[in-house]
Amino acid sequence: MSNNGYKTILLEQKTQGVWVLTVNRPEALNALNSTVLNEMGEALRQIGEMPYEDARALIITGSGEKAFVAGADIKEINELDEEKALTFAERGQSIFHELTLLKIPVIAAVNGFALGGGCELALGCDFIYASENAKFGLPEVSLGLIPGFGGTVRMARAIGQRRARELTYTGNMINASEALTMGLVNKVVPQADLISTVMKTVEAILSKAPIAVGSAKISINQAWDLDVEEAQKNEAKIFAELFTSDDVKEGTTAFIEKRKPQFKGQ
């Protein structure tokens, strides 16, 4: 598929229904600027509007071997005033929130530096696989700032408040193995194996009922905003709604008949 006129990202179909969005500014270590954010927002809208058979999983990565996304563009940040800074932060937060709203799994394949806005982008994905050379951090305090694209919110949820505070207050970078130990990333592999490893997991997900996977994502995400009792009520409601889909009948019948299910996403 063509790149649809994008200048700073690549949007390519890896296999049927599996898309790869690559932040493509290797000369700037894939730093996020307004153009990248706008193009990413457009790409996510494009994927969100596709029928299920055309969009079943999204992988997000960075161009080159050094960086996933090394942060936001400091030259652009340097020119912001309070009003423009609020717009900039809200724009980034809104686009990263789109990753949560997508009904398909979104996996970050972190292939190098994931700092500041890049770390926040990875945190916005459903989970993270990293190459051995990956490095993570929220160094905004060294610029007199705090993370503005959801970092103070999502990092604490990912690794707990105390570790999140330490990382955010110090601005320190951590390597891939430290990120794995903290539970920030799910798996660490050699860089050459990163995309193929992600694809193996994607293929496992694609063998399952797509509506069920999407519903699981919704339930997990909504649980953050509810107390345990309300979250469980919400889970039961989503569970029950799945019984209006053909896939439940197919999945349970196939199990009883000892055959592989043929899910249709409806």
Partners of residue 32 on adjacent β-strands: 72
**C-alpha torsion angle, residues 56, 62, 63, 69 (rounded to 10):** 160
DSSP letter (8 states) at residue 258: T
- Spatial separation of the C-alpha atoms in residues 157 and 144, rounded to whole Å: 23
Structure tokens at 93: 């937060």
User: Which candidate in 120, 178, 229, 230 is catalytic?
Assistant: 120
The one-letter code for the residue type at 211 is I
CB 248 within 8 A of CB 240: no
Q: What is the DSSP string of 167-193?
A: HHHH--EEEHHHHHHHTS-SEEE-GGG
The verdict on whether 140 is a catalytic residue reads yes
User: Apex CA 46: angle with CA 12 and CA 70, to 5°?
Assistant: 60
- Spatial separation of the C-alpha atoms in residues 143 and 165, rounded to whole Å: 17
- Spatial separation of the C-alpha atoms in residues 52 and 205, rounded to whole Å: 14
User: Which candidate in 65, 76, 140, 166 is catalytic?
Assistant: 140
Partners of residue 60 on adjacent β-strands: 21, 108
Which positions are catalytic?
Answer: 120, 140
